[in-house]
Amino acid sequence: MDFGVPREVRDLESRVGLSPAGVSTLASAGHAVYVETGAGLGAGFSDENYREAGGHIVYSAQEAYGRADVVAKVTRPTAAEHNLFRPGQTIFSFLHLPVSSPDLLEALIEREITAVSYELIQEDDGTRPVLLPASIIAGQMAPIIAGRLLRSDYNGRGILLSGLPGVPAAVIVIVGAGTLGSNAARAFAGLGAEVTVLDENPRKLQQLYDMLYGRVTTMFANELNLKRATRFADVLIGAVSQSGRRAPLLVSREMVRQMRPGSVIIDYAIDEGGCVETSRPTSLRNTTYVAEGIIHHCVPNMTAAYGRSTTYAITNAALPYLLAVGEGNVETASQQLPALGRGVTLVNGRLVHPKVAQALGKSI
């Protein structure tokens, strides 16, 4: 089967659909992999790295798409890429269709594309294996981002995350105890910050509490507790999501208003619409804005700041599904790997994912 790896075109997007090691694995299985020239440069992979791995370098996005039965991407295609879709091909990517521009869905339908949303691939136990490594990286990035934005020269509160003898540590409030929130909690707690985590799932709170040996405060995520916790937060982390749906809006503008000026909100749910009422997407070029006196950091492709690590992680997680499709098609691969089937959003241009259809107000 022929695979295509186009260069990602969003601003400062350094990740790429496959690492050279991933290309080598597909090529060793007998597949042809066409990589657009320069596709891996942001992650530190040269064209020669891909050639040595058995890939074929092509010199336009048109060719990377045009030769491919299966396209491996990271971010959802931009409007400029829609006309490059080859009718009937399969596209793997983080698509987030419930909050995407309507023209993407229209293009997928018109070109009869089979679309697999990485963020929706899900195991029987609820684990989302391709989203998982990206969430781990994002969670571990949280103290790096928060520590910088709290600095006085960034108009933050001038608070050191760890505190020091006689001086209190920063107060961190994390909404969501999933993979991202748990990794953020562990990273902040490791620096000595005062961490509170809220979630509506008591089991997740128990697991996090046990994992960190009680070094975090856990609270049930109801409106009263959210109001109490956010009032004293120096840093508020939004780390909630709902598979196939828009993220729930849990932190209201009123809660943001009660936070102290110069505090920081990092809304990781922004790629699914955001979980804070005052959130709106920013970019790696212009990462922040101020609303209600609070610094907001809401970058959908946040892990592109660590493009090489993220590319390796996503490739490792996605390869089993790409290989399975390469041996037949999405239908047969989904029978072999049921988790893949849960990520299939469209088949030959027909919307087939119930939750996505419901979120979009469409029928299937």
pLDDT digits (tens, 9 = 90+) for 113-125: 999 999 999 999 9
pLDDT for the residue numbered 288: 97
Q: Which CATH number goes with the domain that contains 75?
A: 3.40.50.720
Give the catalytic positions in this structure. Answer: 96, 271
Strands 2-5 and 32-36, sheet pairing: parallel
**Tokens for 152?**
């006085």
For residues 141 and 261, membership in a common domain is answered with: yes
For residues 170 and 275, membership in a common domain is answered with: yes
pLDDT for the residue numbered 113: 97
d(CA 270, CA 279): 7
Section 270-296 average pLDDT: 96
Point out the domain boundary residue: 300, 318, 334: 300
For residues 140 and 113, membership in a common domain is answered with: no
Q: Per the structure, how many domains does the chain have?
A: 2
Continuous segment of H or E residues that includes residue 226: helix 223-231
Point out the domain boundary residue: 300, 329, 345: 300
For residues 224 and 315, membership in a common domain is answered with: no
pLDDT above 90 for 363: no
For residues 114 and 135, membership in a common domain is answered with: no
For residues 228 and 163, membership in a common domain is answered with: yes
The answer to whether the CB of 146 falls within 8 A of the CB of 264 is yes
- Give the pLDDT band of residue 287 (cuts 50, 70, 90): very high
Residue 126 maps to a domain: no
For residues 7 and 69, membership in a common domain is answered with: yes
- Give the pLDDT band of residue 326 (cuts 50, 70, 90): very high
For residues 156 and 102, membership in a common domain is answered with: no
d(CA 328, CA 349): 19
Q: Which domain holds residue 351?
A: 2-121+306-360
- Give the pLDDT band of residue 3 (cuts 50, 70, 90): very high
Section 280-308 average pLDDT: 96
Q: Is the dihedral of CA 347, 72, 94, 289 positive or negative?
A: negative
pLDDT for the residue numbered 251: 97
For residues 209 and 325, membership in a common domain is answered with: no
Strands 288-291 and 294-297, sheet pairing: antiparallel
pLDDT for the residue numbered 9: 95
- Give the pLDDT band of residue 39 (cuts 50, 70, 90): very high
Share of the chain above pLDDT 90, in %: 97
For residues 151 and 284, membership in a common domain is answered with: yes
For residues 259 and 351, membership in a common domain is answered with: no
Point out the domain boundary residue: 262, 281, 300: 300
pLDDT for the residue numbered 244: 83
**Tokens for 305?**
């700041």
* DSSP line for 24-35: HHHHHTT-EEEE
For residues 262 and 288, membership in a common domain is answered with: yes
pLDDT above 90 for 245: no
